[in-house]
Amino acid sequence: GGDEFAIAIQGDDVWVEGRKLCMSLLELFTEPFSIGERVASIGCSIGTSISRAGDINGEELLRRADMAMYQAKENGRGRYVSYELKMDALREEKLQLEADLRSAILNDEIQVVYQPVVSAATRCITGVEALARWQRPGYGFVPPDIFIAAAETSGLIDRLGLLVLRKACETAQQWPSIKLSVNISPVQFRNPAFSGHVAD
């Protein structure tokens, strides 16, 4: 979260002027601010969009700049990104991925596989690690780092995590002599209800 502001500039070369302004703003926010006796560090992410010859209206310009800003946030703090047409296609892909993942969770289509943990001393299996896997219809297996990141940004991580935890607990009952571990997202740990879900 955070506050958002829009700046409109015009001129013969708004691309160059816009870039200069972005660099100046980013440099400004690298230094902490003194507010009374407190010192505050403020992050800044900037998205830009350009209308040449007035071919794009203000609402569309803001939408594009907003999309570029979120891309800047994903790229890391203290950056600026200029809007590109491909961002619309990427956003559509992202939204469709999230919709398909939501459906997969609701329909219990997330698989849990178990990776053996082997003792280096005895070379025996001492435990297993539960890992989520998703075979997306029409696409095949989606890399875990892709769909787990999508779950975190779309608010689905709690549902996904509980689904994996439930399946892992069911398996643990069948393998009482095997230690079983489950990966938990940091987002889940921040949920006050998480400990209760584990107890259940």
Give 118's contacts (C-beta < 8 A, 6+ positions apart): 124, 125, 126
pTM above 0.75, yes or no: no
Q: What is the pLDDT of residue 187?
A: 80
pLDDT at residue 200 greater than cutoff 80: no
pLDDT at residue 53 greater than cutoff 80: no
Q: Where in the chain is the domain with CATH 3.30.70.270?
A: 14-84
Question: What span, in angstroms and rounded, lies between the C-alpha atoms of 178 and 118?
Answer: 11
pLDDT tens digit sequence for 154-181: 999 999 999 999 999 999 889 888 899 9
Structurally, what CATH architecture does the domain formed by 14-84 represent?
2-Layer Sandwich (3.30)
Q: Where in the chain is the domain with CATH 3.20.20.450?
A: 92-199
State the average pLDDT over residues 19-35.
88
| CATH top-level class of 92-199 | alpha beta
DSSP string, the chain: ----------STTHHHHHHHHHHHHHHHTTSPEEETTEEE----EEEE---GGG-S-HHHHHHHHHHHHHHHHHH-SSEEEE--THHHHHHHHHHHHHHHHHHHHHTT-EEEEEEEEE-TTT--EEEEEEEEEEEETTTEEEPHHHHHHHHHHHT-HHHHHHHHHHHHHHHHHH-TTSEEEE---HHHHT-TTHHHHHH-
pLDDT at residue 77 greater than cutoff 60: yes
Q: What is the pLDDT of residue 11?
A: 75
State the average pLDDT over residues 17-26.
90
Confidence of residue 1 (pLDDT cuts 50, 70, 90): low
User: How high does pLDDT run on average in the chain?
Assistant: 88
Q: What is the pLDDT of residue 190?
A: 82
Least-confidence region, from 11-15, 19-23, 167-171: 11-15
Q: What is the pLDDT of residue 46?
A: 92
